[in-house]
Structure 1
Amino acid sequence: MLTTGLVLGAVVMGAGMQRITGMGFALVAAPFLVLLLGPVEGVVLVNVCGAVTAGAIIFRVVRDIDWKRYAALTASAVLGIVPAAFLIRLIPPAVLEISIGVILAVGLTVLLALKSATLPARRRYLFTAGGLSGFMNTAAGVGGPAVSMYSIATRWQHKSFAATMQPYFFTIGALSLVSKALTAPATFPSLPAAMWASVAGACLVGLVLGDVAARFVPARAAQILLIVLAYLGAAATIVRGVLDMVG
């Protein structure tokens, strides 16, 4: 019962944060779900809940979605997945995780130190952000910080960014689930039907709470939360890589 309660609590928190900041389900829920369910089944459950949560939010924010940026990000993310799939076979996962985490942390710090500098919202930067996101999502399971760095650098309006991230994460999550279903169906959690229903209910509760909170959380506060989550993602990636190397 304790494990069930912790799993559902993590799902509620992740779904709520996804609604408020536009990203964050994996960063908030993944550490708990992986710890409680194991590294394989936990990650798959994160993928399932993340895709479902993003898909549900789309209908609430559809008016604010920048579909051109979504298409560019998604196409470049798919291209970024290909080299990552080859690299993870050649380079130890721990080395990749530590390297990506350090690059993310340094990049975020440089962006924050140069607050007055604004990166032009050109397509090449958008494609770069999407490619890095797809690469990092495949190599280390953290695709969000790369696109959040782009949004900070280009001063992308948070409301539009948060909305556009929903179809983006839904598409990337769905593609990940399809690939895993075709290549490794045994990795899907064998949970009772009642548990799946409870997880779906937890996603709904988190979305409702996040929807209410989003009305009262100022755009500036949401952007600060976004930066904090990006740093947490970088830190978690480094720590995981170090633990894998030590272990």
Structure 2
Amino acid sequence: MTGEAALLLGGLVVMLGACVQWLTGMGFALVAVPALVLLLGPHQGVALANCAAGAISAVGLVSGWRRVRLTAMVPLVIASVCAVPAGSWAAGQLSQPVLLVGMGLLVTLAVLLVMQGLRVPGLVGARGAVAAGAAGGFMNASAGLGGPPLSLYAMNAGWSAHEFVPNAQFYL
């Protein structure tokens, strides 16, 4: 693939991921990271995805700021920040195939739990926010996929989609 074709493909993937995140509050990484990792490599692909997701979330948060649940989001964000060094360390220590398969399994498990509507008693209240935040921070730093634990937390907290979008944008 030529450099121009790769740049065009990368731009299209970023635009598609931005549309998904703008509509749902998350999902940029699920759409963009696989292609960006293949195009740029794991470290640059994840770094670009995290930067782009942050910018998209900041822009989206401007209109939804009033719907952010700060009492739930503060423990989520603090736990996430505390887990980032461990995720970064894991990304540097594990081989790319092991890391990608491990993250793929975690994302698949989270999606299956959400699809089944399974309630996890440990994912409610402040303790649940800390657990989801730590898992999300670890996954975000290691593979750019911090949204699935937040989705599980929101489902267990009974958030509607209308409530989820600005809170996901705040978190991400």
TM-based fold match above 0.5: yes
Letter in 1 for 2:14: V
Match of 1:139 among 142, 145, 156: 142
Alignment check: 8 A CA contact 2:113 2:152 kept: no
CA-atom RMSD, angstroms?
2.6
Distance 1:164 1:94, change over 3 A: same
Structure-2 separation of matches of 1:98 and 1:153: 26
Using the alignment, how far apart are the partners of 1:122 and 1:54 within structure 2?
24
- Aligned residues between the structures: 168
| C-alpha contact (below 8 Å) 1:111/1:153 kept by paired residues | no
Alignment match, 1:84: 87
Once the 2 structures are TM-superposed, how far is the Cα of residue 91 of structure 1 from its aligned partner?
4.6
List aligned pairs for 1:191-210, cutoff 5 A. none
Kindly indicate whether residue 23 of structure 2 is the aligned counterpart of residue 12 of structure 1: no
| 1:221 counterpart residue number | none
Matches of 2:92 and 2:118, distance apart in 1: 40
Distance 2:46 2:89 in 1: 20
Amino acid at match of 2:26: M
Deviation, structure 1 residue 147: 1.0
SS of the residue 1:63 aligns to: helix
Q: Structure 1 residues 110 and 11, CA, compared in 2 at 3 Å: closer, same or farther? A: closer
Aligned equivalent of 1:149: 152
1:165 alignment partner in structure 2: 168
2:78 aligned partner: 75
Deviation of the 1:85 alpha carbon: 3.8
Q: Structure 2: which 5+ residue stretches go unaligned?
A: none
- SS at structure 1 position matched to 2:38: helix
The separation in 2 between residues aligned to 1:29 and 1:19, in whole angstroms, is 14
CA deviations on 1:74-103 (whole Å, 9 max, x unpaired) are 100012223334444555453344334324
- Correspondence 1:26 to 2:29: yes
Structure 1: distance between partners of 2:93 and 2:48: 27
Distance 2:52 2:110 in 1: 29
Distance 1:110 1:44, change over 3 A: closer
Letter in 1 for 2:65: V
Residue 106 (structure 1) aligned to one of 88, 109, 114: 109
- Cα distance in 1 for residues equivalent to 2:99 and 2:37: 19
2:124 aligns with 121
Matched, 1:61 2:61: no
**Distance between the aligned counterparts of 1:3 and 1:98, measured in 2?**
24
CA distance change for structure 1 residues 9 and 121 in 2, over 3 Å: closer, same or farther? Answer: same
Query: In the TM superposition, what whole-angstrom CA distance separates every residue of 1:61-86 from its partner, at most 9, and x where no partner exists?
Result: 11211122221111000122233344
SS of equivalent residue, structure 1 residue 23: coil
Note if contact 1:7-1:32 (Cα within 8 Å) is conserved in structure 2: yes
C-alpha displacement at 1:35, in angstroms? 3.2
Once the 2 structures are TM-superposed, how far is the Cα of residue 160 of structure 1 from its aligned partner?
Answer: 1.6
Give the TM-score taking structure 2 as reference length: 0.80
* Cα-to-partner distance string for 1:138-178 (whole Å, 9 max, x where unaligned): 23321111111222233222222210111221xxxxxxxxx
Shift of 1:126: 1.0
